[in-house]
Amino acid sequence: MTIPVSSVPDVTAYLVAAIQNQITINEPLATEATIGVYTGDEPTRDRPNDIIKTGHVIMPLEVTTFIGSGGPLWLNEDYELEITVSNWDGDGSMQPPTGVARAWQLMGYVTTAIRTDPSLGGLVDMAYPSHIEGGQAVWTENPVGRQVDLVLTVKVSNLN
């Protein structure tokens, strides 16, 4: 018997690669030291000023078709995946409009990666940017500087 597996790990890996590709296209001199793209938390304490990370998943499970065994096609895998974009000014000299503009520029790379292929390489039936929250510059104390965060919710639908 084949055990149904969630698409979440493959979707997350695909999005990291697709976002990195958009960065390469738009900022060919960027490196992981200047723009970090991560799954979950940053892997190091030496973080770049620009970070994009995939992370939190919300997946309610809903029966779509009753099949006695509960096998494939029994559950419709609809979930939300959050992607956070952060821009931080290490010396505090950045004016809020500059950080806000940079955060939105980075978010453009993320949304373009999704909009370019809404099936995410054929991994899901459909994925699309649903909504974005945040965008205001806030002062951070440890470390000292200004930070702008945007959180994108990506809706994903896949018949599993």
Whole-model pTM: value is 0.86
Residues 106, 84 contacting (CB under 8 angstroms): no
**pLDDT at residue 111, rounded to an integer:** 98
Residues 121, 154 contacting (CB under 8 angstroms): no
**pLDDT at residue 1, rounded to an integer:** 46
CATH number 3.30.70.1700 is the correct assignment for the domain at 8-159 = yes
Residues 75, 64 contacting (CB under 8 angstroms): yes
Q: Domains of the chain: which residue ranges?
A: 8-159
Per-residue pLDDT of the chain (160 residues; tens, 9 = 90+): 455 678 899 999 999 999 999 999 999 999 888 999 999 776 667 788 899 999 889 988 766 666 666 655 566 789 999 999 999 887 656 566 788 999 999 999 999 999 999 999 999 999 999 999 999 988 888 777 889 999 999 999 987 5
**pLDDT at residue 106, rounded to an integer:** 97
Q: How far apart are CA 67 and CA 62, in angstroms?
A: 13
Residues 99, 147 contacting (CB under 8 angstroms): yes
Q: How many residues does the chain have?
A: 160
